[in-house]
Amino acid sequence: MKILVTGGAGFIGSHLIDALCAKGHHVVCVDDLSLGRIEHIAHHLKSTTFEFIQLNILDESRFDALFSEHRFDCVFHMAANSDIQEGATQLRVDLEKTFMTTFITLNCMQRHGVQHIAFASSSAVYGERSTPLREDSGPLQPISFYGAAKLAAEAYISAFCENFDMRAWIFRFPNVVGERATHGVIFDFIQRLRENPHELLILGDGSQEKPYLYVKDLVSAMLFVWERTSEKINCYNIGVSTTTRVSKIADIVVEEMGLQNVQYRYTGGDRGWKGDVPWFLYDLHKITELGWTAQMTSDDAVRHAVRALLGTYRE
Ligand X SMILES: NC(=O)c1ccc[n+]([C@@H]2O[C@H](COP(=O)([O-])OP(=O)(O)OC[C@H]3O[C@@H](n4cnc5c(N)ncnc54)[C@H](O)[C@@H]3O)[C@@H](O)[C@H]2O)c1
Which part of the chain contacts ligand X (CB under 6 A), choosing from 32-40, 226-234, 236-244, 267-275? Answer: 32-40
Q: Which of residues 77-106 bind ligand X (CB under 6 A)?
A: 78-80, 82, 97, 101
Residue 301, helix vs strand vs coil: helix
Query: Rounded to the nearest whole angstrom, what is the least distance from the CB of residue 1 to ligand X in the complex?
Result: 20
Give φ, ψ of 217 to 5 degrees: -65, -45
Nearer to ligand X, 79 or 203 (CB): 79
Q: Which of residues 140-179 bind ligand X (CB under 6 A)?
A: 173, 175-176
Q: For strands 26-31 and 199-202, give the pairing.
A: unpaired
Nearer to ligand X, 6 or 25 (CB): 6
Which part of the chain contacts ligand X (CB under 6 A), choosing from 8-16, 66-74, 154-162, 238-246? Answer: 8-16
Enumerate the β-bridge partners of residue 51.
Answer: 28
Counting residues that bind ligand X (by CB under 6 A) gives 28
Nearer to ligand X, 178 or 204 (CB): 178
Task: Count the Cβ atoms, other than its own, within 10 Å of residue 162.
Answer: 11
Decide if residue 108 touches ligand X (CB under 6 A): no
List 18, 32, 51, 256, residue binding ligand X (CB under 6 A): 32
Nearer to ligand X, 11 or 160 (CB): 11
Please choose, from the candidates 181, 3, 176, the residue with its C-alpha nearest in 3D space to the C-alpha of residue 76. 3
Indicate the residue type of 74.
Answer: C
Please choose, from the candidates 221, 217, 238, 236, the residue with its C-alpha nearest in 3D space to the C-alpha of residue 301. 217
Decide if residue 12 touches ligand X (CB under 6 A): yes
Task: Count the Cβ atoms, other than its own, within 10 Å of residue 89.
Answer: 10
Query: Rounded to the nearest whole angstrom, what is the least distance from the CB of residue 263 to ligand X in the complex?
Result: 28
Beta-carbon contacts of residue 147 (< 8 Å; ≥ 6 apart): 122, 124, 125, 126, 127, 275
Which helix (DSSP H) or strand (DSSP E) does residue 4 occupy?
Answer: strand 2-6
Which 8-state DSSP code applies to residue 146? H
Q: Which of residues 44-63 bind ligand X (CB under 6 A)?
A: 56-58
Q: Which residues bind ligand X (CB under 6 A)?
A: 7, 9-13, 30-36, 56-58, 78-80, 82, 97, 101, 120, 122, 173, 175-176, 182
